[in-house]
Amino acid sequence: MRLFFILLLLNLILWIDGQSGNFPDCKSGPLSFFPICNQSLPSRERAADLISRMTTIEKISQTITTADSIPRLGLPKYEWWSEALHGLAFSPGVFFGGDLPSASSFPMPINLGATFNMNLVHRIASIISTEARAFNNDGRAGLTFFTPNINIFRDPRWGRGQETPGEDPFLTSQYVYALIQGLQRGHDERYLKIAANCKHFDAYDLENWNGTDRHHFNAKVTDQDLVETYLPSFKSCIKDAQVASIMCSYNSINGIPACAHKFLLETIARESFHLNGFVVSDCNAISDILHAHRYTSSVEDTVAVALHAGTDLECGVFYLFHMNTALNRKKIVEADIDQALMRTFDVLIRLGWFDPPEQQIYRKLNKNNVDTLEARQLSLISAQESIVLLKNINKILPLNLNQLMNKKIALIGPTADATVTMQGIYHGRAPFLIDPITGFKNVTAGNFIDIQYARGCGISSHNEKDFAAAIKLAQSSDIVFFFGGIDNTIEREGTDRKTITLPDVQLALIQQLEKVSRSPLHVVIMSGGGIDLSYIRNSTQCGSLIWMGYPGQSGGLAVATVVFGQYNPAGRLPVTLYPASYVNAVSMFDMQMRPSSTNPGRTYKFYTGQPVYEFGYGLSYTTFNYTYNNNTFKSFVSMQSLLKNIEKEDHTIISSIRINVTNTGDMDGDDVVLAYVTPPTINNGSIVPFKQLFGFERIHLKQNETKEVFFPFTIAAALTIAENASKWIHPGLYHIIIGQQRMFSITLEGESIQWA
């Protein structure tokens, strides 16, 4: 016990020391005499001078994420690795306690993708960056955050798909742009608010499947799929949103480890996408180049290939232990190290790390800017907007509170009392967690409705010992809800699923509940990845089906407001829900998107089978009608007229599409208007997408209200990617689909044009 208190005291002393040395001292410390503290100089000039004053060993100490202090220069230690995927998260750089015991916990990115509301994403990111700055000012977080994850959710088995906004490159590209703007840009354009990091570059979407883990996986990707599917979100992040850093992934890509892939990191990220920042490795990925991928044969060659490829910063210690050896054996030169440090320190300068606090509004943020009323409201709104109503037979939902007096409602199932589970992965300590039971009780308070709970079963345990109590409760209840799904024991970092079915024990309990329920059963599913819900979809005894994802701190209240009609759901699936047989039809190792003899095709764009529920599906309590205004619509366009824009950006408008959306039902609500294009068939036999998303907008409509939605049909929307990755515009009919409805076609006349 005495040793425990000694260790506790030492940790407190270290934390206090970290507080006092959180920022460099440019007023009276050794640095104050150097150009690094001269704000009139360009950031790279300031960084270069500081680096020039370091010894070689000191430089090497700065090439890893836990960078050491350099006392003689007055440079404090810095932890580069902080996390903020959907709120500040437990990580080496983030600590909860003292005046900052918690931080807002928003829904997982898969939920945010389901909202199709990029303004919402931007607002959430802005709050996260504000709270991050408050934590940093208190010495409880860094300024560099390894978020977001923008890999495409290619396969439903992937354990980390919940960290992404879904399967569609266009949706993911829009999401990451809004997110990075909210994270990095604030009210002071002189500084980055925080530095974000787009990961994992690239083609990373496998954890551990059939004996191969992410450290050893070689992703065999065609040039066509790379350009069409795997790169667009990173282009949006790097080129458009101007993210401060990216992370190279564990896997190899066509035989070259990602953190040693000079073509990806230098040619694409830096030269083509104009990355203005640094590249950091995933943790221990540098070591994997040698030990897992066997790409190099010595430690010094491994350092050299990673550093020369453009990996500036390592999450790990391989650089720390072996960079000097590589230098001594002339595999690298000191200028290589200087270049890497130039990129990292330039970002710290752009964050204002060296500048006086009194001139920075971000340095004034504190505990009063964390867990604010706005943040709490937004946590609820974002959870509500993400909920997807998949089934609602005979308008069984919403429940009318006025008709439920003295009724008993049974909440049964392993996620009815979910708290931390609602946060998904990469979460922090939330200020509160409202589970569904509490949410139901809060919404029904004062209405004399009896809310009762029985667990019934676990997530995946085959033990049925609790069935009896659940069935007994269901028999005595007027309305029965089953809360099930999966959790992070089944899908998480390091773990992929082998099946995509609802766990057997849950399905068995649902079938028992169907037999005894007085009214049709309601089912609510919590998950990040897709589940085969065909039994529930087809069952006449299941009246409604809701997907709630991992909805964050207010998730239980959000789903309750939907059930009782206080919020009209409008979420749309950001992924395809495949039948269970899908996992037997294609290997996770198969990176190809298009169908083949061993692959039924991936995502809504290429899947040749019948989905359980398709991407973009979701119901509302009201109805909407679409008509189009053709005043500015061009149905025929000459290919020749497009040639004059061939040197311009892809955003040149071919035709303007204006849709009138009318709420024709009896309840106010949101509608998510999705615009797809079906490209023409190509004469050379190449497979084109069945359809592909090129626009979306979420709007709110009162009863009988009409609003106009505008979608520009651009050159980017019309482009087809050839097998050699070249971009083409082909003549023919381009069918425009709004939601489920084909509305009109655009004819491009002339000869095919190679765009790039």
pLDDT greater at residue 5 or residue 236:
236
Per-residue confidence at 3, pLDDT binned at 50, 70, 90?
A: very low
Distance set, CA 55 to CA 50, 58, 77, 341, 356 (Å):
11, 5, 16, 13, 26
Per-residue confidence at 603, pLDDT binned at 50, 70, 90?
A: very high
List strands edge to edge, sheet with 278-281.
198-201, 245-248, 278-281
Question: Is the Cα dihedral 176, 136, 92, 78 positive or negative?
Answer: positive
The answer to whether residues 260 and 201 touch, using CB atoms and an 8 Å cutoff, is no
Q: What is the pLDDT of residues 405-453, one digit of tens each?
A: 999 999 999 999 999 999 999 999 999 999 999 999 999 999 999 999 9
Residue 282 appears among annotated catalytic residues: yes
- The answer, yes or no, to whether residue 738 has pLDDT greater than 90, is yes
Average pLDDT over residues 348-362: 96
- The answer, yes or no, to whether residue 20 has pLDDT greater than 80, is no
In the set 168, 282, 466, 532, the catalytic residue is 282
pLDDT greater at residue 19 or residue 615:
615
- The answer, yes or no, to whether residue 5 has pLDDT greater than 50, is no
pLDDT at 4: 34
Cα separation, 398 vs 409, in Å, equals 14
pLDDT at 684: 77
pLDDT at 10: 36
Q: What is the pLDDT of residues 622-638, one digit of tens each?
A: 999 999 877 667 788 88
Q: What is the pLDDT of residues 67-83, one digit of tens each?
A: 999 999 999 999 999 99
Residue 193 DSSP class: S
Q: What is the pLDDT of residues 30-87, one digit of tens each?
A: 999 999 999 999 999 999 999 999 999 999 999 999 999 999 999 999 999 999 999 9
- The answer, yes or no, to whether residue 19 has pLDDT greater than 70, is no
- The answer, yes or no, to whether residue 117 has pLDDT greater than 60, is yes
pLDDT at 649: 67
Which residues make Cβ contacts (< 8 Å) with residue 720, sequence separation at least 6?
Answer: 679, 682, 686, 688, 727, 728, 729, 730
Dihedral angle at the C-alpha atoms of 134, 138, 141, 142, nearest 10 degrees?
Answer: 90
Average pLDDT over residues 607-634: 91
- The answer, yes or no, to whether residue 11 has pLDDT greater than 50, is no
Write out the two tokens for 478.
């007027």
pLDDT at 29: 87
| Three-state secondary structure of 217-282 | CEECCCHHHHHHHHCHHHHHHHHHCCCCEEEECCCEECCEEHHHCHHHHHHHHHHHCCCCCEEEEC
Per-residue confidence at 22, pLDDT binned at 50, 70, 90?
A: confident
Average pLDDT over residues 185-194: 96
| Three-state secondary structure of 305-370 | HHHHHCCCEECCCHHHHHHHHHHHCCCCCHHHHHHHHHHHHHHHHHCCCCCCHHHCHHHHCCHHHC
pLDDT, averaged across the chain? 95
Q: Is residue 157 classed as helix, strand or coil in its secondary structure?
A: coil
pLDDT at 647: 63
Average pLDDT over residues 554-569: 98
Domains of the chain: 2-369 (3.20.20.300), 377-606 (3.40.50.1700), 624-754 (2.60.40.10)
- The answer, yes or no, to whether residue 8 has pLDDT greater than 60, is no
- The answer, yes or no, to whether residue 220 has pLDDT greater than 90, is yes
Q: What is the pLDDT of residues 337-347, one digit of tens each?
A: 999 999 999 99
pLDDT at 369: 98
Q: Is residue 563 classed as helix, strand or coil in its secondary structure?
A: helix
Q: In this structure, what are the phi and psi dihedrals at residue 71, rounded to the nearest 5 degrees?
A: -55, -40
